[in-house]
Amino acid sequence: DVKVTQSSRYLVKRTGEKVFLECVQDMDHENMFWYRQDPGLGLRLIYFSYDVKMKEKGDIPEGYSVSREKKERFSLILESASTNQTSMYLCASSLEGATNEKLFFGSGTQLSVL
């Protein structure tokens, strides 16, 4: 089975801090995604990547950046954390070219910005 691992389950940071959320997948998937999940809003796409060193903005990229230096690792960076970035962050990966490109999710990182 595909395993998507997020480095932290819970994280508490202060306003203005730089925050790194790490995600690693072990099945050689080309596609990787970062979502945030908020009650009543569902999952919203922040950034995605279809290849190493490639990144595309999703629906809500403001205040975030990403890095994909290796195929298996996709990092989400909050340059200067703000309280409205308190959320559950979910990383996902999928196989390019599959007939049903289902997503495999990590367990999520619950980030609280104080």
Question: How far is residue 23's CA from residue 56's CA, in Å, rounded to a whole number?
Answer: 17
Residue 30 interacts with other proteins (CB under 8 A): yes or no: no
Q: How far is the CB of 31 from other proteins (least distance, A)?
A: 9
The residue count for the chain: 114
Which of 56, 65, 80, 82 touches other proteins by CB under 8 A? 56
Q: Which is nearer to other proteins, 19 or 106 (CB)?
A: 106
Which of 8, 22, 45, 61 touches other proteins by CB under 8 A? 45
Which of 30, 58, 71, 86 touches other proteins by CB under 8 A? 58
Which of 13, 44, 71, 73 touches other proteins by CB under 8 A? 44
Dihedral angle, C-alpha 104, 111, 80, 25, nearest 10 °: -20
Quote helix, strand, coil % in the chain, to nearest 5: 5, 50, 45
b (16+ CB within 10 A) / e for 61-93: eeebebbbeebbebbbebeebeeebbbebbbbb
Look up residue 57 and give its amino acid.
K
Q: Which is nearer to other proteins, 17 or 96 (CB)?
A: 96
The number of residues that bind other proteins (CB under 8 A) is 22
Contact positions vs other proteins (CB under 8 A): 4, 33, 35, 40-45, 48, 56, 58, 90, 100-108
